[in-house]
A = this chain, B = another copy of it.
């Protein structure tokens, strides 16, 4: 099952905001059993939001989108989505009343901008926003389950938790573990990693992240992940591969050690 993440906002594109929302959404999807397939970031601009949607609707089983639900002129995510899937915006009465009561309680007027936050695509379900005002939205389109969440991290995070249980795939478990190896270059371990990957097919993924210690020695983080319909089995495979890698790393160190290389 494929999942795609769309984040919306100029502040992300120009690097003012580091895209922690995409990382948090990706992590939730990954640990719920999905293959996180594509991440798109676009401007607060109808044509761009629609381009992003068009390129993943029907391709992914699930899309989580974040950003552009607020009251300002450039919060046009819901409108753009509704136009892309060809449904009108309608007022969600429950949301409207909640926003109105909240405003009145604080002695604030019900402006056009506040009313906007109660507009949802016809046929959508809302996800309650317990932190802010604009609700999240759930909508099925072209075989894709779409969740539209706010961009404000606290609001996004609280909704992410609330959809986690709705989307969890029960028949797939992911396990992931890392080891850190010192003194072995990524390129030296690479042939062994390739061999391991080939022998395990789709069930295992091995990724190496090179770094350098303060002493200038190579430091390699090796991350092994596995998926299975049996959680214990996935864990066992990850452990056994990490052991094989640790042994091979020791072999490489023995062979490549500069002190022993010219014996």
Seen from chain A, the residues whose Cβ lies within 8 Å of a Cβ on chain B are: 5, 10-20, 22-30, 36-43, 48, 55, 70-74, 106-108, 111-114, 117, 132-133, 152, 154, 176, 185-188, 190-191, 193-194, 197, 205, 207-212, 223, 256-258, 261-262
Contacts and interface: CB of A to CB of B under 8 A. Distances in A.
Count of chain copies: 2
A213 to B, nearest CB: 13
Contacts of A187: 70-71, 108, 111, 113-114, 117, 133
Contact of A24 (B15, B39, B48, B212): B15
Contact of A193 (B24, B72, B212, B256): B72
A40 B37 contact: no
B15 A30 contact: yes
Contact of A19 (B19, B111, B152, B262): B19
Contacts of A152: 209-211
A107 B257 CA distance: 7
A111 B185 CA distance: 12
A22 B21 CA distance: 13
Contacts of A38: 13, 40-43, 48
